[in-house]
């Protein structure tokens, strides 16, 4: 989860987020190289009195500064396209969960099991315990097995919301009248926090998301207890 003074991305908790972090570092490295190169050329331009008489209207230099940016864009575009296809890939999900956004809470339904649905509200300040996180904890968490493919079907009953969990690399809009889907899997056990990322009204900041990733064995016990 995000903490104070954090400037970088959250720790990866899913294979998708790992790939997103790798692409972020790759793109940042390319940008740093370009910035250093252009900065050095600008410094030389300002402090150098020498003049190249063949520089203006030179076909060779124009060809070079057209081809080099194109090659640079290819080095960024290929990993980006590869990542887009990975994010959209859904293969035999183990579990499907329907998520419905409301003003201002989330409703969840484990569609593979009957009578397993609940609403998830933020815990108010007056009811918080010492171990709760302010503005992040909810009364009913999403319980999921780790290292399992999860498909999330997302929609909204009123306005546009956005179901977001940064450490899992998940962000998808909940749009009224439209059913969006996304696939992800948690690579470890733990608690993963998120919030609505689309301004949806006065209490937009008070509809957090909490995912509790547990082992498949304990997940089956939890199902037997609640179904």
What's the pLDDT score for residue 2?
Answer: 63
Across the chain, mean pLDDT equals 86
Each residue of 208-221: pLDDT tens digit?
999 999 998 898 88
pLDDT at 149 over 90: no
Cα(21)–Cα(15) distance, integer angstroms: 10
**What CATH architecture is 15-88?**
Orthogonal Bundle (1.10)
Give residue 36's pLDDT band: very low, low, confident or very high (50, 70, 90): very high
All structural domains of the chain with their residue ranges: 15-88, 95-226
Residue 5 has pLDDT above 70, yes or no: no
Q: pLDDT tens digit string along 115-145?
A: 788 899 999 888 888 888 888 889 889 999 9
Taken in order 171, 201, 156, 211, the sign of the CA dihedral is positive
- Quote the pLDDT of residue 13: 80
Question: What pLDDT, on the 0 to 100 scale, is given for residue 102?
Answer: 92
What does the alpha-carbon distance between residue 58 and residue 51 come to, in Å, rounded to a whole number?
A: 14
User: Half-sphere exposure of residue 12, counting CA atoms within 13 Å on the CB side?
Assistant: 14
Distance between CA 214 and CA 150 in Å, rounded? 13
- Position 111 confidence tier, pLDDT thresholds 50, 70, 90: confident
Per-residue pLDDT tens over the stretch 174-187: 999 899 988 888 88
pLDDT band at 55 (very low <50, low <70, confident <90, very high): low
- pTM to 2 decimal places: 0.77
- Average pLDDT (12-41) is 88
Task: Name the percent of the chain lying above pLDDT 90.
Answer: 22
- What is the dihedral angle through the alpha carbons of 156, 162, 165, 168, rounded to the nearest 10 degrees? 90
CATH H superfamily, domain 95-226: Cupredoxins -  blue copper proteins (2.60.40.420)
């Amino acid at each position: 989860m995000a903490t104070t003074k954090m400037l970088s991305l959250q720790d990866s908790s899913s294979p998708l987020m790992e790939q997103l972090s790798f692409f972020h570092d790759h793109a940042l490295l390319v940008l740093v190289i370009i910035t250093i190169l252009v900065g050095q050329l600008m410094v030389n331009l300002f402090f150098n009195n020498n003049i190249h008489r063949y520089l203006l209207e030179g076909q060779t230099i124009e060809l070079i500064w057209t081809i080099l940016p194109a090659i640079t864009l290819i080095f960024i575009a290929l990993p980006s396209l590869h990542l887009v296809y990975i994010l959209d890939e859904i293969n035999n999900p183990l579990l499907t969960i329907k998520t419905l956004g409301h003003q201002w809470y989330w409703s969840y339904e484990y569609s593979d099991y009957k009578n397993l649905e609940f609403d998830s509200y933020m815990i108010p300040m007056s009811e918080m315990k010492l171990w709760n996180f302010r503005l992040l904890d909810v009364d009913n968490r999403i319980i999921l097995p780790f290292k399992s493919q999860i498909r999330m079907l997302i929609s909204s009953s009123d306005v546009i919301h956005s179901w977001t969990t940064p450490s899992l690399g998940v962000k998808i809009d909940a749009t009224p009248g439209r059913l969006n889907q996304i696939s992800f899997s948690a690579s470890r056990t733990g608690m993963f926090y998120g919030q609505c990322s689309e301004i949806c009204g006065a209490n937009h900041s008070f509809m957090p998301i909490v995912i509790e990733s547990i082992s498949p064995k304990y997940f089956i016990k939890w199902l037997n207890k609640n179904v």
